[in-house]
Structure 1
């Protein structure tokens, strides 16, 4: 019997609670690579999905079957054929795809039906609904290549899927679609998941595949994972990456994430199945484990430039007048503007923060964190904080700190702890205003 230690379990559970509240009743479309099943990870993954389901999340699960179809073709002595990253589905490949899809549906439904004691599935009742929710059309002939029975999603019956989810069922989709004449087409899991997420206007699209995410430097396989990409940044990255043909290519899943966000899905994710519990970590922790592409619509979260000085001053002046912020003159802001992160909407600065590094002490001060009263309560402060943390980590720093007289509790809720002013780096301590008696709060960076 495993031991549960309250001093670690209770703080952890409390940290998860905000995400449980936030995602209850939301719709997640999850694309599961066939490689996950081939690696023997289906049962553990389904257990994690049952936890999401128990937390009130509506789930559409789309399975892939690339390795399973390849295995069936090899057993029949038939070579797998690809072009432009898509399978060329001849009559033999179509039969193999249908056989693989039927077998995988059986395995997935069986996994959801487990109820063994001492597993996450104990006392769980998860119903799985499948159906002909997809209408497809042929890929056709591309650059002289006839893709035969390969297709793309033409229409998703979102209303029928929604009705099934409203009964409490998990909707399971195979990468197959049918034409109005009843002709079957082999689709890709990625196209089905993306098309379904768009049709449902899902809250999240998650691809659980072979790659760990998008690295901050895609050319360097040792560079850290970029845990959050703004849609505009993802679009720019895609434009300079080579065309993806394999699931292990950086752009393979990213292009579908971008397409989903462009069509109104606010957040799309790339999550590695190799990490146990990866989908739980991605959904229920602050930084996640993979890469999240965020549709910021007309809102831009970015580093400031000299053109933003007037907007920053207009934003922070009211807070300087009432004593919430220390007064900064225009010359200082102009000098340090590149240290600022801003949120801009329709050309207006609605939020900002500055990051002043103390490299020798491996820390940095976050100063002038401000959100316009017009948009407070919409999460802009959290978005700025996360971007500032990312900038600090990119500098190789171990922590960030703030000085505040009025917003101490906001920072404590976000992982900061209070320390004595003597903790401050020597250079910053010399500028500390003892008359103001600002509280010093520190957050360690993971």
Structure 2
């Protein structure tokens, strides 16, 4: 028998939650405005009930000032038309061999999908998210193709490759506020049409346009490690190694990761792989700090580094709740600014999510570890340990032999990291004089 516990009804976010989310998204709205995103919708996504919602989310990006180039796939729709006509689909290395009959199916499938997307972008009902959107979806001969030709003895016939992207024409449309639609069908200077790989169109367009992001939305797309955990971030080199291992049983995921690898290796700052079956995946990835998919990027998304003066605000925001709860002693902005060189931080996409400080007592060959704080959303993830290891190396470089820490709440964590209990008398004399007997902090010491 079904119960409410077994099938919980999704709770509706309160007005306060929605206001909070909107406020937290504002840095991303500012960061994305005026940027160029190339978004690939896999062909399998175009036949799902989520497509109208995805179009709503793309319309929102357009309204927020993002310059959009939309690329659509058509592989399953082409296969369906060939099957309906009693024709066999032939593939070599995940590439369809397109004869004259197959080309007819390609043109029919691509034409139908273009019209479908144009219809969805034209929605404007008063009770829909598209009300007053007035988006122009522009398609045309923006992709110039060339034939694949004969390779390894196989004549690919009407299967082609991207020769070039008409960058100036696309930019003209984007500057006018229009969304540009590219299909997996290209024309050649001789007037011939060629069936193209949608992933190749997307990555080539992203590179040619100098796009800030390439985003791939596939149905059920998921890039995992050997223990089946979602990989959140990959460098192009790591993505290349994964592809070289030939571990992917799903050829669609392999093609999509290959496209992301190609784009990120050739100047596109970030390439994102998202599961379109997750409601709001596009918005979660772009307007929340941790996203929900896999990102291939040359940039370091999370950095452990020495703090700078412009990090003071972020450190104060991180420390304030702990100071209010009595976990840490309050530090003023002025004091932090004067001592900023003592701090290290972990920065994640522009936000300070962890900090710690080292105060050396050179005459006693020891140092105080202080202000160890990690944002609540990122605890239990070894970030505190990362900062400890970093500061231990810094302490050794300064000739320190021991580290000590005073704590009221986190004694067990420091014990686990090799700190031993000690009395106040173990502190340097200068630090003993500043000891707050009212707080009655426990003292722990670690030999380096």
**The two structures share one fold, judged by TM-score above 0.5:** yes
Q: Determine the structure 2 residue equivalent to 1:252.
A: 255
Describe the SS at the equivalent of 1:172.
strand
Instruction: Report the Cα distance in structure 2 between the residues aligned to 1:287 and 1:400, rounded to whole angstroms.
Output: 20
1:261 corresponds to which of 260, 264, 274: 264
CA contact (8 A) 1:320 1:326 kept: no
Residue from 409, 412, 429 that aligns with 1:426: 412
1:42, 1:108 within 8 Å by CA — same for their partners in 2?
A: no
Partner of 1:24: 33
Equivalent residue for 1:229? 234
Measured in 2, the distance between the counterparts of 1:174 and 1:147 equals 19
Report how far residue 326 of structure 1 moved.
5.3
CA positional deviation for 1:237: 2.7
1:41-440 aligned within 5 A: 41-215=50-224, 217=225, 219-220=226-227, 223-242=228-247, 246-248=251-253, 251-296=254-299, 323-324=339-340, 367=356, 393=381, 422-428=408-414, 435=434
Paired position in structure 1 for 2:46: 37
User: How many residues matched?
Assistant: 351
Contact 1:89 1:148 in 2 (8 A): yes
Partner of 1:380: none
TM, length-normalised to structure 2: 0.69
Report the CA distance shift for 1:144/1:119 in structure 2 as closer, same or farther (over 3 A).
Answer: same
Structure showing greater radius of gyration is 2
For the residue of structure 2 that corresponds to 1:247, the secondary structure is helix
**C-alpha distance 170-4 of structure 1, shift in aligned 2 (>3 A):** same
Kindly tell me: are residues 13 and 76 of structure 1, through their superposed partners in 2, closer, same or farther at Cα, counting changes over 3 Å? same
Residue 236 to residue 230, structure 1, CA distance change in 2 (3 Å): same
Alpha-carbon shift at residue 252 of structure 1 (Å): 2.2
CA drift of 1:401 comes to 11
What is the CA distance between 1:37 and its match in structure 2?
1.2
Structure 2 SS opposite 1:236: helix
Q: Which runs of 5+ in 2 are unaligned?
A: 1-10, 307-334, 359-373, 389-406, 416-420, 425-430, 440-448
Matched, 1:8 2:31: no
Q: How many Å separate the matches in 2 of 1:294 and 1:71?
A: 35
CA contact under 8 A between 2:38 and 2:215: conserved in structure 1? yes
Distance 1:234-1:288 versus aligned 2 partners, 3 A rule: same
Indicate if the aligned counterparts of 1:29 and 1:59 stay in contact, CA closer than 8 A.
Answer: yes
Distance in 2 between residues matched to 1:28 and 1:55, nearest whole Å: 12
Instruction: Output the CA distance in 2 between the equivalents of 1:111 and 1:175.
Output: 19
1:187 Cα offset (Å):
0.2
Structure 1 distance, partners of 2:343, 2:90, is: 66
- Do 1:271 and 1:290's aligned partners in 2 also have CA atoms closer than 8 Å? yes
Question: CA–CA distance in 2 between the matches of 1:78 and 1:256?
Answer: 29
Distance 2:53 2:266 in 1: 32
Deviation string 1:298-355 (CA, Å, 9 cap, x unpaired) is x89889xxxxxxx99xxxxxx9996436599xxxxxxxxxxx9999xxxxxxxxx9x9
**Pair 1:321–1:114, CA change in 2 (3 A):** closer
Deviation string for 1:28-69 (max 9, x for gaps)? 000101101122322111111001111110100011011111
In 1, are the aligned partners of 2:40 and 2:71 still within 8 Å (CA)? yes
Q: Is the 8 A contact 2:343 2:357 kept in 1?
A: no
Contact residue 199 and residue 255 of structure 2 kept, 8 A? no
Q: SS in structure 1 opposite 2:200? A: helix
With the length of structure 1 as denominator, give the TM-score of the two structures: 0.69
Q: Distance in 2 between matches of 1:425 and 1:89?
A: 68
Secondary structure at the residue paired with 1:269?
strand
Q: What residue number does 1:372 align with? A: none
CA distance in structure 2 between the aligned counterparts of 1:292 and 1:422, rounded to whole angstroms = 39
Cα distance change, pair 323–130 in 1 and its aligned pair in 2 (3 A):
same
How far the C-alpha of 1:427 sits from its partner, in A, is 4.7
Distance 1:323 1:436 in 2: 19
CA shift, 1:98, in A, is 0.2
Native 8 Å contact 1:32 1:209 kept in 2: yes
Q: 1:63 to 1:322 in 2, by over 3 A?
A: same
